[in-house]
Every structure is written in structure tokens, then in C-alpha cells.
Structure 1
Amino acid sequence: MTAYVIFIREKTLDQREMDIYAEKVPSTLPSVPIQMLSAYGRLEVFEGNTPEGVVLFAFPTVEDAKAWYFSEAYQSVAKHRHAGATYRGFVVEGVTG
């Protein structure tokens, strides 16, 4: 079942670290067919605080999403995102339909 990985950037702390992350993250994307559905596009908030931006990926399964996120390749790059901004990140399973 399709799984969606969502990253919500709340606040940038160090743009240099974010630039390093942006440069290196494509090399961590797995060989499984994933889709980037949105990356810091137009955002209108219906409820709650407005984040700086949102990224949305679709993976074939939750297991595929977790395998990518917890991989050594991604975690070695994610340290730059962690140093560069405050984020919330999670995976959510889609519905069958």
C-alpha cells in the first residue's frame, strides 16, 4: 500500500547546512520507484501555524519508506538537515480504494 513521507520545515537555522543537504540528498534516493509529489510549493494553511515549507514523497510501502529513511546513506546526509532547520517528519500509510 502506498506510503507518504512528509517533512514539514518549521524554521531554518543554518542555510549553509540546508544547501549541503539539498546537494547530497538525491544520491540517497533508493532504487524503488518513489515519487516526489511536492517540494516547498505554494502552501495555504487551513489550521495551525504556517510552516516554512513541506515536502511530500510517495513510496510503494511503509517498509520501503523506512528502509530509505533509516539507511546509512540517508542518515549520513540527514545530519545536515537536522543542523540546518527544525523539521517534523513522518510516514503515513495511504488507503486502499
Structure 2
Amino acid sequence: MPACLISLCRDVTDRKRLEDYWANVAPSFEGVEAKPLVAYAPFEVLEGNGGVLGVVLFEFSSMEEARHWYTSPAYQEVKKRREGAADFDLILVEGKIVPAAQRMPKSSS
């Protein structure tokens, strides 16, 4: 089952280091079944408090493949280039529809 990695850039504190990360991250995807769908394209926040500077979306062949990429030595090494340069939320989500009765959040009442 496919999975998506959603990366939300919330703040940039060192643009030069972030650009170094961008320049060096591509090789970490070699041999990984991943397809870039969105990378810092124009976007519009329709609901919520915003606070997002950029959005990246990758489709992986599975949750396992995405975890394999994220925990790989290649990615962990290049990830050091962006740590401290920007604040990101990375969200890994399985590509399926959950029936309404099983969805979160659960009612508190």
C-alpha cells in the first residue's frame, strides 16, 4: 500500500545550510521507491493558523519503504545538514481511507 511523506517547513534560521541540504539530499533516494509530487510549489492555507513556509510531498511504495529511506545512513547523514537550519514537521501517512466510524479524533463525550 502506498504511503506519503508530508514535510512542512515552519521556520528557516539558516538559509545557506538549508540550501546545502537541498543540494545534497537527492542521492539519499537512490534505490528507494519514492516519487516527488510537490516541492515548495505555491500553496494556500485554506484553514488553520498557517505558519507554513513550504510544503514537500513524496509518495513511497509503502510505509516500510519510507521508513527505510528515513532511517537509512544516507538520509541520516544528509539530514544533519538541515538540523538547526530550519524547523520541519515530517508526517508519514499510509495511503488508505479509514471508515468514518474508525477515524480520529474520538469524541470526548
C-alpha RMSD of matched pairs (Å): 1.2
How does the TM-score come out when normalised to structure 2? 0.83
Specify every segment of 5 or more residues in structure 2 that has no aligned partner in the other structure, as ranges: 98-109
Q: Look up the equivalent residue of 1:92 and give its one-letter code.
A: V
Q: Secondary structure at the match of 1:21?
A: helix
Deviations 1:30-81 (A, max 9, x none): 3133110000111111122320001000000000000000111101111122
- Whichever structure has more helix as a proportion of its residues is 1
Q: Counterpart amino acid of 2:69? A: W
Structure 1: distance between partners of 2:62 and 2:37: 15
Output one character per residue of 1:4-26: Cα deviation in whole Å (capped at 9) or x when no partner: 01110000010111011011100
Specify the structure having the higher radius of gyration (Cα). Answer: 2
Q: Higher RCO, 1 or 2 (CA under 8 Å, sep at least 6)? A: 1
- Hey, which bits of structure 1, 4+ residues long, moved more than 2 A? none
TM-score between the two structures when normalised by the length of structure 1 = 0.93
The percentage of aligned residue pairs carrying the same residue is 38
SS in 2 for 1:56: strand
Q: Distance in 2 between matches of 1:2 and 1:92?
A: 9
Question: Which residue of the partner structure matches residue 62 of structure 1?
Answer: 63
